[in-house]
Structure 1
Amino acid sequence: MITYLLKFLGIYVICLFKFVAGPILGYTAGYGLFEIILVSVSGMMTTVILLTYLGDWFKAYWAIRVTTKKKRFTPKIRRIVKIWQKFGAAGIAFITPIFLTPIGGTIIMNAFGVKKNKIFLYMLISGLVWATLMGLSIEGVLQIPFFNDLLR
């Protein structure tokens, strides 16, 4: 029981930063689909909730000023803006688990001024969908080459 909880906690902590690791590590730990979904989504949503509320606090109390000039529109930022223009908050939430991190997706949605309840809802739905698809693919129920190749 202690070993199970330590594995679960370890995977949960990794999912705070990188969602894709949850289904892969959950599968290698011998978890079933429900456990894979639970650990992956709970880790992601913890980050989303913390950053959504801490984002307001940072904006209000810590005006961080960068003295060096950064490029404002890098190719990556241009792609994110295009996704935002076409699909809005739902599009950003959809790509977050796979291409962004929970941290990156939440920061982007906060930067675009998405309401907290929409951030939570879209990210939860996205996390549930991707964790289910990845869990089923890794278990071999769905044959999605991208996810199956991650294990090789």
Structure 2
Amino acid sequence: MKALLIILSSTWKFAATFPLAVYVFQMSFFETILYTNIGGLIGILISTLASKGLIKLFNAYGLKLFKSKKKIKKKFNKQNRRLVILKNKYGLAGIAILTPVLLSIPIGVFLNTKYYGHKKISYLYLLISQITWSFVYTLFYTAIKVSM
């Protein structure tokens, strides 16, 4: 049951799962790596399918819904600006690196699908980034646990 909870929680918010796995459930290093990466992979797969579907729906129906006789200016708020800066300044590597840490997996995969979905290797970058951060987080939290 605890493995299933770790897998499900790491599909959505990857970084928040490690303290739960290491401290609350007392999982070993390898259990934590295994379950969080399975959850992250499932999250990437589900989010990719959902993102592709949402983008297709918006391209097909969204433009018709938002058309009006008045010309509407695009509104840029603080969050939109940050995402554009992230995409322009850091590109695919920045999105892949920040997805498990700052962004959640669904948001990072959506950005990846929207801007770099035509490159199949972009999903491999997300997976490699997730595995790397999994090792970093697990080493960090197990080192703290041992020192206590």
Q: Which is higher, the Rg of structure 1 or of structure 2?
A: 2
> TM-score, with normalisation over the residues of structure 2?
0.78
Q: Equivalent residue for 1:79?
A: 82
Q: Which amino acid is the alignment partner of residue 126 of structure 2?
A: M
> TM-score, with normalisation over the residues of structure 1?
0.76
Aligned length: 135
Can you list the C-alpha shifts for 1:51-85, whole angstroms capped at 9, x where unaligned?
21232233335635569x89742222222222222
Q: Equivalent residue for 1:23?
A: 18
Partner residue of 1:11 out of 6, 13, 16: 6
Q: Equivalent residue for 2:140?
A: 137
- RMSD after superposition: 2.4
Provide the identity percentage: 27
Worse overlay, 101-110 or 75-84? 75-84
Q: Equivalent residue for 1:39?
A: 35
Question: Which structure carries more relative contact order (alpha carbon 8 Å, separation 6+)?
Answer: 2
In structure 2, distance between residues paired with 1:58 and 1:40: 26
Cα distance change of structure 1 residues 115 and 42 upon mapping to structure 2, 3 Å threshold: farther
In structure 2, distance between residues paired with 1:45 and 1:72: 34
Where do 5+ consecutive residues of structure 1 fail to align? Answer: 1-5, 142-152
In structure 2, distance between residues paired with 1:45 and 1:66: 35
Please list every run of at least 4 consecutive aligned residues from structure 1 whose deviation after the TM superposition is greater than 6 angstroms.
none
